[in-house]
Amino acid sequence: MAAVNFGGVVPFSTIDWRGKASMVIFLRGCPLRCIYCHNYKLLEDQNYVEPSEIEAEILKNAGFIDAVVLSGGEPFMQPHAIEAIAQFVKKRSLFVAVQTNGFYPAVVETLLKKNLIDKIFLDIKAPLSDETLYEKLTKVAGVAERVRNTLAACILAGVDLELVTTVFKNLVGAEEVKRIAKEIEEAGAANCSYVIQQGRPELVPGRVIAEDDEFSREELKELAAGAYHAASLKKVRIRTREHGEEAVYGGG
């Protein structure tokens, strides 16, 4: 296995994969430059390490966790790393999840066919029919189509799938969330969990988003109601700084 562009590790987490004790491994690098990226420090610099270093971290924590979650950055930018880490993790009878922006549908499809990934957390940053807004958010053209293809690949593979939208007022709000909900239903993913995540201006690089553009918990519940009633989604949840993740519709 080639060296891994490694971003760091959270040895134990109960919030990254609901219902599982997880170790989170961050991989550096991302093709997008989202204006509200919370992990922007992982985008540019390089920190290549030998696979044995990551394997040692996993072994150190294997007795306390159920799963390993690969995050970033964009993990699928390093397909060799995902495949090797997933194989190592699977041999220890642990589960594997990947958090992704959906930019690499072909890579996702290939790795899903190898049955190395148990769960995908897929960002849907804006309505997939709105390439203009997607480009505004990510600073890259053609992203929405790639995310549509990743969503289709996940649905076809039948992998456990959770869809996540980060919201800010005056950027991605009530109308956008309703449109995303309809698109999720139309894509055949109505049974998947849809999580509306509170965007946090204090974590945005350069403070380019105002503090007043943060949705409150009660406002997020209203967004969840809008999504639920706009489409036949089975599970709609919200995620906030204060209360973590909460089921608004569908429980579970």
Answer yes or no: are the C-beta atoms of 195 and 248 closer than 8 Å. no
Return phi, psi of residue 62, to 5°: -60, -30
Answer yes or no: are the C-beta atoms of 147 and 104 closer than 8 Å. no
CATH class of 1-158: alpha beta
pLDDT in tens, the chain (252 residues): 689 999 999 999 999 999 999 999 999 999 999 999 988 888 888 999 999 999 999 999 999 999 999 999 999 999 999 999 999 999 999 999 999 999 999 999 999 999 999 999 999 999 999 999 999 999 999 999 999 999 999 999 999 999 999 999 999 999 999 999 999 999 999 999 999 999 999 888 888 899 999 999 999 999 999 999 999 999 999 999 999 999 999 876
Residue 1: its pLDDT value, please?
60
Answer yes or no: are the C-beta atoms of 177 and 165 closer than 8 Å. yes
Cα separations in angstroms, 34 against 15, 103, 123, 184? 23, 13, 12, 22
Classify 115 in phi/psi space as left (phi over 0), alpha (psi -120 to 50) or beta.
left
Domain map (residue ranges) of the chain: 1-158, 164-252
Classify 140 in phi/psi space as left (phi over 0), alpha (psi -120 to 50) or beta.
beta
Residue bearing tokens 């549509």: 148
Parallel, antiparallel, or unpaired: how do β-strands 244-249 and 48-49 relate? unpaired
Q: How many residues does the chain have?
A: 252
Tens-digit pLDDT profile for residues 190-201: 999 999 999 999
